[in-house]
Chains A and B, each alone.
Chain A
Amino acid sequence: MTAAVFFGCTFIAFGPAIALFLFTIAREPLRVIFLIAGAFFWLVSLLLSSLVWFISVQISNKDSAVQQKGLLIFGVVLSVLLQETFPMSHPPDLSGLGFGFMSGAFSVVNILADSVGPGTIGIHGDSQHYFLSSAFMTMAIILLHMFWGVVFFDACEKQQWWAVAAVVISHLVVSCLTFQNPEYVASLVPTYVILFLMGIWAFYSAGGSLRNLKLCLTCKDKDFLLANHRPR
């Protein structure tokens, strides 16, 4: 594996997230603090769920592979549920992005570190697309976390419990889709469909509309221009 694979996968996985960070967060220390707080809450939820998983593994039959896999699936579901119960701080997109960054980092950083070293992927018959699919999956997950955060917070504010349930269920669906790996097509395509739908939903709950979008893209949005001191 080469540096090309490493850089390519890193940029695929973290590109959009870092762009979001640079354009919307980096200038204000307070926003950075919220981002890090989001990351920290994700970490705490991970630690709690891995504690439960660890205990359950210790008391289970270690030789049975089926049981171990079942326990792992249980661990994943528990982890998703715990993540959703953690208090979403305001602003929601930052805590969502914090969740996303941490989740993405934990999923993919070790893989990226391995990709710099020597070796050939899939030499024993495993899929050759391990790195690439990991990178795409990570990108989807990071963006999804942010969208989930926005929708979740908005739904909590407006007390629309069906929306909260929809967020939790879609998170579970995405995680469970990954159980089909290494059938990457079966897991990646639906994930991206869900990403697209959640993105649109988050856009509308954050107050966006087609009209805003048009104004923004043609640089005619007066509020945005005034806020950034740019002439039309």
Chain B
Amino acid sequence: SPLGGSGQVWIIRSGSDAGQRRVLDEATRQRRLTRQLEALEKDNFQDDPLSSLPPPGPTARLPAFKKKRRKTRGDHFKQRFRKNFTTLLEEENLSERAEPNYLSAAAPPSSLPPRLFCCVCGFPSHYTCTTCGGRYCSSRCLLTHRETRCLKWTL
């Protein structure tokens, strides 16, 4: 099948489309969707204002000697208190544990078919972009889609 394999690209020359049109396979489409959903989990989309400060200039006072490291209430405290969510979840080792647990409590997929919306304007959509699988509602939205998002950020 021309759409099989990971990241494989099939080049189509069509009469109405003077140039070449890539068609992304299912795996790539799924990766794009996963990336979009992960982006929705972010707390911020900009950098930390503190981290973008310029480094101190030559007049900044540098320590002349290495300060003796003050032992806070156990530095191991801090390491343990800074693990991220994925690490903590793995450490719970839930596959070994009895249900019900965090993983088994996840809501199952819906029995209803998904509703489809134009990825440009958000209104109900009846058509699919042949290249990337994005939905659109009209030729105007398709044009906008092709000019902006269609093959952007393709993995």
Do A and B truly interact?
no
Q: B residues engaging A (CB < 8 A)?
A: none
Q: A residues engaging B (CB < 8 A)?
A: none
